[in-house]
Amino acid sequence: MEWSDSALVLGVGRFREADLWVRLLTRRHGIVTAFAFGGSRSRKRFCGCLDLFNELQISTKTTRNGMYLSLQEGILVRGPQRLRSDWNRVGMLMNCIRFVEALGVSPDTSGEAFALVKETLALLEEAERVQDLLPVLFRLRLASQQGYAPALRACARCGKTLFDPAGFSVAEGTVLCPDCLGRRENIVEISGKSLDVLRRVQEESPLRWNFAASDASGAGDEALLPSERRECARAVDGFVQYHLGLTWDKGRFRRV
């Protein structure tokens, strides 16, 4: 079987002396691992394009015995420049990629996941300032795309639209107004501003997540305060751990 697709390079490693394995997030086929036979030497078929975070147009073919997916050709569409030297941003993007790999991407949702990773990469490449909350916001958006979307618009009990401080139920994935909180467990107190940020993350492109940036003084109309960043992180990471069984630990996501 042969197919072509757009792809983002998530990982590269040596398979044999002249061969490479390449992990790719593709627009139509989800996450795949392909083998670039002769990839460390071939200049005609790959032209040095098999670098981390590159966007490619690829052609693949299943090997005769059906055991491997062979990368026949890779054409470079674009590659990052800033991310080659800004290790803090590389770390944020790798955190996002590790979550993609841990959660998995089905072919049915691969188009949305591909666009999300591509836009997140563009944000890290182009924005003057990016706060370290970005991977947390990315987790919320990807989980929402993959069918694990918390309901953040209105109180789950009385239906009141919430703009003021509320409580986020980690177990239920819903928000509750102060009057309906009661004595529920696993509640994260969350401000109206933090709640608005999480709603917008579910709805808007990462390129519009300007509330995660601040000016040189740390101020700005949409900048998040440290307390608000902690609220967002507690809510999202609590939800991801409870419903997806994933937690970030020592440079990777592990099952809990």
Give pLDDT tens digits for 74-125: 899 999 999 989 999 999 999 999 999 999 998 889 999 999 999 999 999 9
pLDDT tens string 150-172: 999 999 999 988 878 889 999 99
Single out the residue in 25, 60, 78 at which a domain terminates: 78
Region 141-150: mean pLDDT is 95
Handedness of CA 136, 138, 142, 148 (dihedral sign): positive
Please provide the average confidence, as pLDDT, over all residues in the chain: 89
Residue holding tokens 């996450």?
A: 31
- Which tens digits make up the pLDDT trace of 203-254? 999 998 877 654 444 444 567 888 999 999 999 999 999 999 999 998 899 9
Strands 187-190 and 166-169: antiparallel
| 35 lies in the same domain as 13 | yes
Domain shared by 205 and 100, yes or no: yes
- Are 93 and 208 within one domain? yes
The CATH number of the domain holding residue 185 is 1.20.1440.120
The residue out of 14, 43, 78 marking a domain boundary is 78
Work out how many domains the chain is built from and give that number: 2
Report, as an integer, the average pLDDT of 190-201. 92
Nearest to 55 by CA among 143, 119, 109, 129: 119
Query: Is residue 29 located within the same domain as residue 129?
Result: no
Provide the domain limits for residue 41: 2-78
CATH code where residue 37 lies:
2.40.50.140
171 and 51 fall within a common domain: no
* Claim to verify: residue 65 and residue 188 sit in the same structural domain: no
10 Å CB burial of residue 137 (0-12, 13-18, 19+) is: buried
What is the average per-residue pLDDT within 9-35? 90
| Shared-domain flag, residues 112 and 237 | yes
Q: Mean pLDDT, to the nearest integer, of 164-182?
A: 90
| 148 and 233, same domain (yes or no) | yes
Mean pLDDT over 30-51 rounds to 78
- The H or E element that residue 9 is part of is strand 2-14
210 & 228 share domain: yes
Banded pLDDT at 44 (limits 50, 70, 90): low
Q: Which of 60, 78, 96 is the last residue of a domain?
A: 78
**Does 135 lie in the same domain as 14?**
no
Question: Which distant-in-sequence residues (6+ apart) come within 8 Å of 213 by Cβ?
Answer: 127, 128, 129, 130, 131, 220, 222, 223
- What is the reported pLDDT for 41? 62
Q: Are 138 and 199 in a shared domain?
A: yes
* Cα–Cα dist 160/158, whole Å: 6
The verdict on 244 and 142 lying in the same domain is yes
Q: β-strand 151-155 against 174-176: which pairing, if any?
A: parallel
